[in-house]
């Protein structure tokens, strides 16, 4: 089985998010980058499926050379090889077009993404890849089991799940429940250095969307500490008017 895992290079979850240039540019100063947590789930699942010679795992990232530590980490976790599309990822449409352009005609049986990238939270790439490659897609999967040529998928819905089955190839966005993220071991880390990392140049993609400016959330007023529940209930009812 040939598996492609898309990985996004995102600010560490503890990052304080600030902006420069009159709130038009994300301030990357001092930011540590990690593999998007949902992509770690996708990668762990892919490695699991390919184990014991049952398949190969390729990871792909759309990013400039600064993302290579993240790609190497994915190789250390167990991917066989990696592709970096050498471009600043402008938005999901741009990213999906680059990945689709690489993937088309390569015969991947399974293309995995995370359910969303925790930076821009688009939750777009999985469905866009499905559209661009004319494949079925499930954007938010809580469970993924491959049996022969079938993918059995639990799709998240409000208050429950849909149990689905679909023939490969398919694009799946993974969430918790699909696999436990794997921590790279020493052998993996050493081995990652010599695994192939191919750099390909981007294709042109028309601009449909861009970001004009950012805002930080307004600070909340000071907390009102109360001593007893009756007082709290009164405030929630009379002041906040939420109950």
Partner 1 sequence: MAILVYIENTDGGLKKSAFEAAAYAKAIADQKGDTLVALSIGDVADAELQKLGKYGVTKVLNASQANLKQFVNKAYAAIIAAAAKQEQASVVVLSNSFSGKGLAPRVAAKLDAGLADGAISLPSWNGNDMEVKKTAFSNKAFATEIISSPVKVISLSPNAYELKESPASAEIVPFTADVNANDLSVVLKEIVRATDKISLPEAEIVVSAGRGLKGPENWAMVEELADVLGAATACSKPVSDAGWRPHSEHVGQTGIVVSPNLYIAIGISGAIQHLAGVSSSKTIVVINKDPEAPFFKVADYGIVGDAFEVVPKLTEAIRNLKNN
Ligand X SMILES: Cc1cc2nc3c(=O)[nH]c(=O)nc-3n(C[C@H](O)[C@H](O)[C@H](O)COP(=O)(O)OP(=O)(O)OC[C@H]3O[C@@H](n4cnc5c(N)ncnc54)[C@H](O)[C@@H]3O)c2cc1C
| Six-digit token string for 70 | 């993240």
* Residue from 62, 76, 82, 153 binding ligand X (CB under 6 A): 62
What is the distance between the alpha carbons of residues 35 and 44, in angstroms, rounded to a whole number? 12
Residues 171-200 that bind partner 1 (CB under 8 A): 175-177
* Residue from 4, 9, 38, 76 binding partner 1 (CB under 8 A): 38
Q: Is 177 in the site for ligand X (CB under 6 A)?
A: no
Residues 188-217 that bind ligand X (CB under 6 A): 211
60 binds, among ligand X, partner 1, none (CB under 5 to 8 A by kind): ligand X
* Residue from 159, 187, 194, 204 binding partner 1 (CB under 8 A): 159
* Residue from 37, 55, 136, 191 binding ligand X (CB under 6 A): 37
Phi, psi for 235 (deg, rounded to 5): -65, -45
| Six-digit token string for 170 | 């398919």
Q: How far from the centroid of its chain's Cα atoms is residue 19's Cα?
A: 22
3-state secondary structure 128-168: HHHHHCCCCEEEEEEEEEEECCEEEEEEEECCEEEEEEEEC
188 binds, among ligand X, partner 1, none (CB under 5 to 8 A by kind): none
Q: What is the dihedral of CA 25, 61, 119, 39, to 10 degrees?
A: -170
> Can you give the binding site for ligand X, defined by CB under 6 A?
6-8, 13, 26, 28, 36-39, 60-63, 88-89, 91-92, 95, 113-114, 116-117, 119-125, 211
């Amino acid at each position: 089985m040939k598996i492609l895992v898309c990985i996004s290079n995102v600010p560490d979850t503890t990052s304080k998010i600030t902006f420069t240039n009159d709130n038009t540019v994300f301030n990357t100063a001092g930011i540590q980058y990690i593999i998007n947590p949902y992509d770690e789930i996708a990668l762990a699942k892919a490695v699991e499926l390919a184990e014991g010679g049952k398949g190969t795992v390729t990871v792909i990232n759309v990013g400039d050379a600064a993302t290579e530590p993240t790609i190497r980490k994915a190789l250390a976790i167990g991917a066989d090889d990696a592709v970096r599309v050498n471009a600043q990822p402008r938005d999901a449409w741009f990213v999906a077009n680059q990945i689709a352009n690489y993937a088309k005609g390569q015969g991947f049986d399974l293309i995995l993404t995370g359910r969303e990238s925790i930076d821009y939270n688009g939750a777009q790439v999985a469905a866009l890849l499905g559209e661009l490659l004319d494949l079925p897609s499930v954007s938010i999967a809580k469970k993924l089991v491959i049996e022969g040529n079938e993918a059995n998928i639990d799709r998240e819905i409000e208050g429950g799940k849909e149990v689905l089955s679909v023939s490969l190839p398919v694009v799946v966005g993974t969430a918790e429940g699909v696999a436990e993220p794997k921590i790279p071991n020493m052998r993996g880390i050493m081995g990652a250095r010599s695994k192939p990392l191919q750099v390909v140049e981007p294709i042109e993609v028309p601009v449909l969307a861009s970001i004009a400016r950012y805002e930080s959330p307004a600070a909340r007023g000071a907390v009102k500490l109360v001593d007893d529940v009756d007082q709290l209930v009164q405030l929630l009812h009379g002041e906040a008017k939420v109950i």
